[in-house]
């Protein structure tokens, strides 16, 4: 998988490891070195203005939409 940083400030569709789909705008990016779990993390803002966070191990697929 590409670095999650490449999706920062873009609209994305994410399928997580439980096969749930999320769409939204990537509001935040945290590099692995700054993460408590030492994993890259992003958070998306969905259409209801909910901020939903994911680390790289929770993402099955991600694409720019």
What three-state secondary structure class fits 58?
helix
> Which CATH number fits the domain that encloses residue 32?
2.30.30.100
Provide the domain count of the chain: 1
Alpha-carbon torsion 33, 3, 20, 22, what sign? Answer: positive
Per-residue model confidence as pLDDT tens for the chain (65 residues): 689 999 999 999 999 999 999 999 999 999 999 999 999 999 999 999 999 999 999 999 999 99
* pLDDT score, position 2: 83
Cα of first residue to Cα of last residue in the chain, in angstroms, is 17
Residue among 16, 17, 25 at smallest CA distance from 45: 25
The whole-model pTM stands at: 0.92
**Domain residues for 51?**
4-64
pLDDT of residue 47: 95
């Amino acid at each position: 998988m590409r670095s999650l940083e490449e999706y920062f400030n873009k609209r994305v569709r994410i399928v997580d490891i439980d096969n749930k789909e999320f769409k939204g705008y990537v509001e935040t990016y945290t590099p692995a070195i700054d993460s408590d779990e030492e994993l890259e993390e992003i958070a998306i803002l969905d259409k209801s203005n909910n901020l939903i966070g994911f680390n790289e191990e929770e993402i099955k697929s991600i694409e720019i939409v």
